[in-house]
């Protein structure tokens, strides 16, 4: 490399400098340096503050040109490059150079980002969110023996005595982004399984799921049980309630155990199919069942209360249920949930059987 740089220097001084930067980082990698050493070497080479930050752990390293920790307040980066590992952005490297970037800053940062990714991969556990689906399936499957489950958890980076909570997710957003949002400060792993995205984490904050995501959250403890609970909770999600915690379902979770044939044969559930194709009717009924007040529904839907009254009356006639009584509202609520569970089960079965769905399985899960 040095000989090549010398030979090319007469043709293009920039090429000589770029090759020397490449050789510099090749030497660092052969010495198997860690992230602080990489940052120190980069700051010395660039003659300005250099920084490295990992998104998963929040770890930030800022080093001055003299090799000491940068004590001055951070200034806007003059140039930055993302650190990527297995196609996922796991961090960023940057330079804090007063004035415009130097002519070789882009080359320096590219090599620094590559070197940082190699260090993270070598000295793990891997800090990427996306995981091998086979390992995740071993963790959540009820057929996995405990020894194999413990080994899979260990390979994913979870401690043996660490409780793991599972979330089942449907979204068009990338799973790694969702995982990083709902568990920003701790280890989180994700993978697509059939038509559902799986998120494994020690804690899951339901308030941090972004808009457009449907998610069911299982309880802490056994990953296999948490996965079953998460899938059940996912079936209860709606546009009004897109994130459901299994612990909050209580006795409603029993509806998921009712055989499909029994649900289909129920008159109230069959009648509910007459309105579930009409989004306005469903929204009105859900709001009325939640509040029990025509005026509150009118406020929620920005309608006149007389219009809501007529709509509720028409829905009641369609269902054959008196919605003005407590027992009628209970019947309608149960029938609406049971109908939704039937529709969700059928959609999930079709998605799982579809070869197109399987070929499109991506880290983003399935919509």
Nearest to 168 by CA among 155, 182, 149, 153: 182
| Confidence band for 321, pLDDT divided at 50, 70 and 90 | very high
Domain 133-253 has CATH 3.30.70: yes
| Confidence band for 345, pLDDT divided at 50, 70 and 90 | low
How far CA 340 is from CA of 161, 251, 264, 274, in Å, comes to 37, 17, 11, 13
- Beta strands 88-96 and 49-54 are antiparallel
Where do you find CATH 3.30.70 in the chain?
A: 133-253
What value does the mean pLDDT of the chain take?
84
- The architecture (CATH level 2) of 258-353 comes to Orthogonal Bundle (1.10)
Count Cβ atoms within 10 A of the Cβ of residue 153 and give its class: 0-12 exposed, 13-18 middle, 19 or more buried: buried
Please give the model's pTM, rounded to 2 decimal places: 0.60
Reply yes or no on whether the pLDDT at 353 is more than 60.
no
Where do you find CATH 1.10.10.2840 in the chain?
A: 258-353
Where do you find CATH 3.30.450 in the chain?
A: 2-123
Which tens digit of pLDDT belongs to each residue from 64-115? 999 898 877 778 889 999 998 877 788 899 999 988 888 899 999 999 999 9
Which tens digit of pLDDT belongs to each residue from 189-248? 999 998 899 999 988 999 999 999 999 999 987 899 999 999 999 999 988 899 999 999
CATH topology of domain 2-123: Beta-Lactamase (3.30.450)
Other residues' Cβ atoms within 10 Å of the Cβ of residue 58: 10
Cα–Cα distance for residue pair 231/250, rounded to 1 Å: 15
For position 344, what pLDDT does the model report?
Answer: 77
């Amino acid at each position: 490399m040095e000989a090549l740089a010398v030979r090319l220097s007469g043709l293009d001084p920039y090429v000589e400098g770029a090759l020397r930067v490449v050789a510099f980082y090749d030497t660092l990698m052969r010495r198997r340096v860690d992230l602080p050493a990489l940052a120190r070497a980069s700051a010395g080479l660039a003659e300005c503050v250099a920084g490295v930050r990992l998104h998963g752990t929040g770890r930030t390293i800022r080093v001055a040109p003299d090799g000491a920790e940068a004590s001055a307040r951070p200034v806007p980066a003059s140039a930055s490059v993302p650190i990527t590992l297995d196609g996922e952005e796991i961090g960023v490297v940057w330079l804090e150079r007063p004035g415009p970037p130097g002519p070789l800053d882009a080359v320096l940062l590219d090599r620094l980002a590559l070197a940082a990714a190699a260090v993270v991969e070598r000295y793990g556990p891997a800090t990427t969110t996306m995981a091998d689906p086979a390992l995740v399936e071993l963790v959540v499957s009820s057929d996995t023996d405990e020894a194999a489950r413990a080994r899979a958890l260990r390979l994913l980076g979870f401690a043996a005595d660490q409780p793991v909570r599972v979330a089942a997710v449907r979204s068009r957003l990338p799973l790694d982004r969702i995982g990083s949002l709902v568990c920003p400060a701790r280890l989180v792993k994700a993978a697509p399984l059939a038509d559902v995205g799986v998120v494994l984490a020690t804690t899951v904050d339901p308030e941090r799921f972004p808009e457009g995501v449907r998610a069911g959250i299982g309880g802490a403890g056994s990953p296999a049980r948490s996965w079953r609970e998460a899938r059940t909770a996912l079936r209860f999600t709606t546009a009004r309630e897109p994130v459901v915690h299994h612990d909050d379902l209580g006795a409603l979770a029993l509806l998921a155990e009712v055989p499909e044939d029994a649900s289909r044969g129920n008159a109230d559930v069959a009648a509910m199919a007459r309105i579930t194709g009409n989004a306005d009717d469903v929204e009105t009924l859900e709001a009325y069942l939640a509040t029990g007040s025509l005026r509150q529904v009118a406020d929620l839907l920005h309608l006149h209360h007389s219009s809501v009254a007529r709509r509720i009356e028409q829905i009641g006639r369609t269902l054959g249920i008196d919605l003005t009584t407590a027992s009628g509202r209970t019947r309608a609520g149960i029938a609406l949930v049971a109908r939704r569970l039937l529709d969700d089960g059928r959609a999930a079965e079709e998605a799982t059987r579809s070869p197109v769905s399987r070929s499109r399985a991506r880290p983003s899960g399935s919509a």
